Amino acid sequence: MELKRISPPLDDQQVLELKAGDTLLIDGVIYSARDAAHKKLVELMEAGKSLPLDLEGQIIYYVGPTPAKPGQVIGSAGPTTSGRMDAYTPQMLSCGMKGCIGKGSRNNEVKEALQTYRGVYLAAAGGAGALLSQAIKKVEIVAYEELGPEAIRRMEVAGFPVTVINDAYGNDLYEQGRLHYAKK
């Protein structure tokens, strides 16, 4: 089966075409940010200051990679648990972010904000950091280098595999998938 491909920046129409359960490949540029970088970005938003990156239409990847060995683009680079970013995600969406990649459940505020702002929550395979690193072709730090693995990185990806968990219609693959296979 030919997989659907998406390439950020995304607009409302492109987001509305994505449904929970879809498997996609991402080509182009995504940005990494996790706990500490989210805290800094939201502090800037609340202070009305400009951000070190334009979030409009972008996809944020929750990842803190291992250091690249000489000759490698990046080390192991799988998703971290998304729930820790729940507190910041509605604000990120209100500033133009269209998608985020992580693993694990989101809270109701995030699911509602995905509908309000037309965004999508994607999961990459947790624990498959070596496999996912192969789809990352170029990396540069754009902000907060002092945060080490938590710095914001611009990543050029080709065929980066993700699955839609929460779409802009309120569907949740984690709930649907579990109910389909639950025997108790």
Applying CB under 8 A, the residues found at the interface with another protein are: 23, 36, 63-69, 72, 75-78, 80-81, 83, 103-105, 123, 125-131, 133-134, 148-149, 161, 163, 173-174, 176-184
Nearest to another protein of 2, 50 (CB atom): 2
The nearest distance, CB 104 to another protein, in angstroms, is: 4
How far apart CA 106 and CA 84 sit, in angstroms, is: 9
How far apart CA 158 and CA 13 sit, in angstroms, is: 22
The nearest distance, CB 79 to another protein, in angstroms, is: 9
The nearest distance, CB 159 to another protein, in angstroms, is: 13
Longest dimension (CA), the chain: 51
**Alpha helices (runs of H) in the chain, residue ranges in sequence order:** 12-16, 35-46, 89-94, 108-117, 129-133, 173-181
Q: What are phi and psi of 137, to 5 degrees?
A: -100, -25
Catalytic residue flag (residue 180)? no
Nearest to another protein of 55, 60 (CB atom): 60
Q: Report how far apart, in Å, the C-alpha atoms of 89 and of each of 44, 109, 128 are.
A: 14, 9, 24
Catalytic residue among 38, 98, 111, 153: 38
Nearest to another protein of 55, 164 (CB atom): 164
Nearest to another protein of 55, 133 (CB atom): 133
- What are the contacts of 176-182 at 24+ separation with CB within 8 A? 176/20, 176/21, 177/21
How far apart CA 29 and CA 7 sit, in angstroms, is: 8
The nearest distance, CB 181 to another protein, in angstroms, is: 4
CA angle, 157 then 65 then 32, to 5°: 55
Active-site positions read 38
